[in-house]
Chain A
Amino acid sequence: MKVTRRTFLRESSRAAAGLVVGFQLGIPGAASTLAKSTRRAAISADPESAAEFAPNAFIRIGTDNVVRLWATRSEMGEGVRTVLPMVLADELGADWEKIVIEQAAMEPRFKGIRLRTSGSGSAAGTWRPLRKAAATAREMLISAAADKWGVSAESCRAEQGSVVHAESGRRLTFGELADAASRVPVPASPKLKDKKDFRLIGTRVKRRDGQAIVSGAAVYGQDIHVPGMLYAVIARCPYLGGKLVSFDPAPAMKVEGVKYVVPVRSGFATGVAVVAVNNWAAIKGRAALLPVWDKGPNANFDSDSFTREMERALDQPGFALRRDGDAPAALAASKKKMEALYEYPFQAHAPLETMNCTAHVREGSCEIWVPTQAPEAAQQDAAKLLGIPEDAVKVNVTLLGGGFGRRLQTDYVPEAVEISKTVGAPVQVMWTRDDDMKYGFFHPAKLERLRAGLDEQGLPVAWHHQSSGPHLSLLGPTAEEKKNPNYFADDGMLWGSFDNPYNFAHHWADYTLVESPVPTGPWRAVMYPSTVFARESFLDEIAHAGKLDPIELRLRLLQPGDMLDLKATVINRARLIAVLKTVADKSGWAATQGSTTAHEENGRLWGRGVACNVYDGDCYVAMVAEVSVSKNLSDYKIERVVSVIDCGLALNPLGLEAQTESAIAWGMTAVLGGKINFKNAQAQEHSFADFKVPRMSDAPRVETHIIQGADAPGGFGETAVPTVAPAIANAIFAATGKRMRRLPITAEKMRLA
């Protein structure tokens, strides 16, 4: 867009008035130009200049040479707002310094384009569409230049923001060509560049928004300010499945600054909103409220008795996920059998930015500003609630102070929309930390029972993995679907057990659904953490029982290194073998003969454990954790984690390493102390004081090694999570001989084991 003086002034005045309808972060290189104001939000007004070149929804090139790129995924730390410009710069031939990134909003311009951020798909899911968009723009710019010069398009190339005619040395910038390029016919099938011509892809590029973040200028959902905005805090029904009966607004209305006390029925939990001129008045107003709740049908629900229910469910018939051979018969015939039960409790996401949403409902339309992974759902929810077309709802996506799957749910959106409609003003709904702990969409608790029949060498020939627990999604299978025993076969719901990569002659996996009133949803790495914890721990048990090296055992079970085709997913066992062999090398496993040389040092017991996994067929990880445990088992520390990752083409190795470090900390949450306890239908945790998450003193030395793979990137934001718990549990066993099968692993549990 051409920034004329008129548009600049208009934007500046609107920005100064605080109307935030989008945000943009500075151009790298324009390093020290942060304005004094903290509201970094600027207006991303629709460009009006006819000279602008806008070949598609993703890209706009102005006569000022600025290339604007709209990110079609939410930035929640995965680095999408850095990696997309890398792809654009390479495929288009753009000047890195001239790329400005904007955030795509749910508005007509992006209709039909996916904005949802999930499944580790920020890079993998946008790679092809963005390259095609960039190649389209490149061919049109080249065509415009070739026409001007009267030369063939083949004799020109795009580089560093210009089109160059090599023979004559002539050169025109993208800005000079923008007007002409906008009149060139759009090519039907633009040719993508060869990998060898990439300059940035595969190199280590730092985050483009680093400066905004460290200056406090980056705009998250809670930083949005709309003129005339009120702040709302909601008293929600504290009982799962309960509801609001009545409330007296008077005590809250007495708090100075409280403007309205209104019921809220559209969120997941019904409640009463206290709407005030600032957050503190809303918080105090809520504290003064004494709503009357109907405890509902689950008033006695508690997670300890639910665990026993899940145990009983393991003996009931479930859904058949995998049926290779006849595992029960082979188990019965085996001379040596092993069996173990593993537990993964309910987990919260607890991103550091609590849930929030700002909504401004007007007559017949609505605008929303929200840190979400699911802007499509936000738009649908708001449109449905208001009874207006989806196109009348604009959803602006801010930066996310962590997503991790929690922000795939949009329960906070209708809350804000409903309150804004009721009070007739823009409203920001803020969840307190306590709200965020209690009203989550939790990672379901699960039990995993594993049974193996071993041959004379101690190798498993029969394998039966049974899981029980609530479904990942509240919607779950329908009553009709539940009648089909094969319903979950080849489905991602039982990731980790149905797509077990190992080769057993007889191999079964089952899942018994256990209903619970707890709202559930995907956690980071979806359903892998529980199943992989069990699977990789059990393999370690088998290895130790048979005096086999745990890495060697895995390598033998992955022979002959072939392709495992499970229809829903295809696993390349050779790639898993490669990451395992590399992690053995990089961790020094062979040199110390793995865990067999667990040792004592500085009065502590040291041990190593290994685990590996394949995330949805396209991302491979092997991990070795090293722990030290005090001799009296009063504490343990995760000292070092070595990972080897193969997720295809690593677009930005620096970002991939960051995601691996992050995934390790995430996986450690469930090991060190993360657990949500329900009593009387309420989550008992309030904050990070009782929901223990890893902190600096827990952080191990992390070493990440990347195997650069195929032509396309796989997702990697979640890849390294599932192997963390089993690698640590296996290391603790190596150090102490204590087999920890129920998470979290506390010192007390270690002493009792």
Chain B
Amino acid sequence: MPESSLRVFSLNVNGDLRKVKAAADTPLLWILRDELQLTGTKYGCGVGVCGACTVHENGSAVRSCQITVSSAAGRAFTTIEGLGAKTDQLHLHLHSCQQAWIDEDVAQCGFCQPGMIMEAAALLSKHSRPTDADIDATMSQHVCRCGTYQRIRQAIHRAAEMQSAKPSTGTKTGGKS
């Protein structure tokens, strides 16, 4: 057996330091899904055109299928599982976007929605009251084959209202270091 080409990489995911042994060119997407069992981040296209694999780095939305694990090493990411504030081992607070998604009954098949929510949460952290044009510009990077766009738009406006009403809760989007 030749010497392994796999290396150990350390990265911060949802506030936890995680070590993984992987090929250097492995996309972060597959590290999250296959190695860390964080399957809320979805594989939709692998080429950065559907948005299903969106996660956060420092509160900004990034495509985990376009980041290799070697470049991700030493950086901190938040996935859909870590978006809500953790209160204890078993209970999660929902992020305002997650709550707004439920309130507006957005999801149909639901597969794209974790990526949509991560994008929307990042948008709201930069634009506290986005216009429809802001929403269109940002969210058009994502695909929903069930066509839930109208409800996503409403949910983003609702989440913006929730955040401005309660600025201190549920807005944490970045990973803990």
The yes or no answer to B33 lying at the interface (CB within 8 A) is: yes
Q: Which residue from B37, B91, B135, B141 sits with its C-beta under 8 Å from A38?
A: B37
Q: Which residue from B5, B23, B79, B107 sits with its C-beta under 8 Å from A207?
A: B107
Q: How far is the CA of A214 from the CA of B33 in the complex (A)?
A: 17
Q: How far is the CA of A211 from the CA of B107 in the complex (A)?
A: 10
The yes or no answer to A658 lying at the interface (CB within 8 A) is: yes
- Is the Cβ of B45 less than 8 Å from the Cβ of A278? no
The yes or no answer to A306 lying at the interface (CB within 8 A) is: no
Q: A281-B23, A689-B49 are in contact. Are A256 and B114 (CB under 8 A)?
A: no
Q: A214-B102, A257-B23, A278-B35 are in contact. Are A665 and B149 (CB under 8 A)?
A: yes
Which chain A residues numbered 21 to 46 have a C-beta less than 8 Å away from chain B? Answer: 32-39
- Is the Cβ of B94 less than 8 Å from the Cβ of A214? yes
Q: How far is the CA of A695 from the CA of B93 in the complex (A)?
A: 30
Q: How far is the CA of A696 from the CA of B109 in the complex (A)?
A: 17
Q: How far is the CA of A211 from the CA of B101 in the complex (A)?
A: 9
Q: How many residues of A contact B (CB 8 A)?
A: 75
Q: CB-nearest residue of chain A relative to B155?
A: A214
Which chain A residues numbered 208 to 228 have a C-beta less than 8 Å away from chain B? Answer: 209-211, 213-220, 222-223, 225
The yes or no answer to B148 lying at the interface (CB within 8 A) is: yes
Contacts of B86 in A (CB 8 A): 36
Q: How far is the CA of A88 from the CA of B165 in the complex (A)?
A: 38
Contacts of A281 in B (CB 8 A): 23
Q: How far is the CA of A223 from the CA of B112 in the complex (A)?
A: 14
Q: How far is the CA of A668 from the CA of B143 in the complex (A)?
A: 14
Q: Write the nearest CB–CB distance from B111 to chain A, whole angstroms.
A: 3
Contacts of A52 in B (CB 8 A): none
Q: Write the nearest CB–CB distance from A529 to chain B, whole angstroms.
A: 15
Contacts of B102 in A (CB 8 A): 206, 210-211, 214
The yes or no answer to B157 lying at the interface (CB within 8 A) is: no
The yes or no answer to A242 lying at the interface (CB within 8 A) is: no
Contacts of B47 in A (CB 8 A): 433, 686-687, 689
Q: Write the nearest CB–CB distance from B36 to chain A, whole angstroms.
A: 9
The yes or no answer to B52 lying at the interface (CB within 8 A) is: yes
Q: A688-B50, A695-B143, A702-B150 are in contact. List 13 more A-B contacts (CB 8 A).
A: A32-B93, A77-B146, A207-B105, A216-B40, A279-B43, A352-B42, A352-B52, A403-B109, A433-B47, A661-B150, A665-B147, A695-B139, A698-B140
Q: Write the nearest CB–CB distance from B154 to chain A, whole angstroms.
A: 11
The yes or no answer to B62 lying at the interface (CB within 8 A) is: no
Contacts of B25 in A (CB 8 A): 280, 284
Contact with A along B86-111 (1 / 0, CB 8 A): 10011111100110011001111111
- Please name 15 pairs of A and B residues whose Cβ atoms are closer than 8 Å in the assembled complex, sorted by A: A32-B92, A32-B93, A210-B107, A214-B113, A223-B39, A281-B23, A351-B145, A401-B111, A664-B147, A688-B49, A695-B143, A695-B149, A696-B142, A696-B153, A699-B153
Which chain B residues numbered 124 to 173 have a C-beta less than 8 Å away from chain A? Answer: 135-137, 139-153
Q: Write the nearest CB–CB distance from A657 to chain B, whole angstroms.
A: 9
The yes or no answer to B84 lying at the interface (CB within 8 A) is: yes
- Is the Cβ of A662 less than 8 Å from the Cβ of B90? no
Contact with B along A210-254 (1 / 0, CB 8 A): 110111111110110100000100000000000000000000000
Q: How far is the CA of A211 from the CA of B50 in the complex (A)?
A: 22
Q: A214-B113, A278-B35 are in contact. Are A662 and B44 (CB under 8 A)?
A: no
Q: How far is the CA of A36 from the CA of B4 in the complex (A)?
A: 33
Q: CB-nearest residue of chain B relative to A212?
A: B110
The yes or no answer to A697 lying at the interface (CB within 8 A) is: yes
- Is the Cβ of A402 less than 8 Å from the Cβ of B40? no
Which chain A residues numbered 497 to 521 have a C-beta less than 8 Å away from chain B? Answer: none
The yes or no answer to B80 lying at the interface (CB within 8 A) is: yes
Q: A280-B27, A696-B149, A701-B150 are in contact. Are A214 and B42 (CB under 8 A)?
A: no
Q: CB-nearest residue of chain A relative to B30?
A: A280
Which chain A residues numbered 337 to 373 have a C-beta less than 8 Å away from chain B? Answer: 350-354
- Is the Cβ of B41 less than 8 Å from the Cβ of A216? yes
Contacts of A689 in B (CB 8 A): 47, 49
Q: How many residues of B contact A (CB 8 A)?
A: 70
Contacts of B52 in A (CB 8 A): 352
- Is the Cβ of B43 less than 8 Å from the Cβ of A34? no
Q: CB-nearest residue of chain A relative to B52?
A: A352
Contacts of A225 in B (CB 8 A): 37, 39
Contact with B along A417-460 (1 / 0, CB 8 A): 00000000000001011000000000000000000000000000
Q: Write the nearest CB–CB distance from A132 to chain B, whole angstroms.
A: 28
- Is the Cβ of B144 less than 8 Å from the Cβ of A215? no
Contact with A along B115-129 (1 / 0, CB 8 A): 001000000000000
The yes or no answer to B73 lying at the interface (CB within 8 A) is: no
The yes or no answer to A78 lying at the interface (CB within 8 A) is: yes
Q: Write the nearest CB–CB distance from A390 to chain B, whole angstroms.
A: 28
Q: CB-nearest residue of chain A relative to B112?
A: A352
Q: How far is the CA of A225 from the CA of B33 in the complex (A)?
A: 10
The yes or no answer to A714 lying at the interface (CB within 8 A) is: no
Q: Write the nearest CB–CB distance from A673 to chain B, whole angstroms.
A: 13
The yes or no answer to A693 lying at the interface (CB within 8 A) is: yes
- Is the Cβ of B43 less than 8 Å from the Cβ of A430? yes
- Is the Cβ of B149 less than 8 Å from the Cβ of A32? no
Contact with A along B58-90 (1 / 0, CB 8 A): 000000000000000000000111001010011
Q: How far is the CA of A350 from the CA of B114 in the complex (A)?
A: 19
Q: A225-B37, A695-B142 are in contact. Are A433 and B4 (CB under 8 A)?
A: no
Contacts of A698 in B (CB 8 A): 140, 149
The yes or no answer to A70 lying at the interface (CB within 8 A) is: no
Q: Which residue from A36, A280, A399, A693 sits with its C-beta under 8 Å from B90?
A: A36
The yes or no answer to A79 lying at the interface (CB within 8 A) is: yes
Q: Write the nearest CB–CB distance from A31 to chain B, whole angstroms.
A: 9
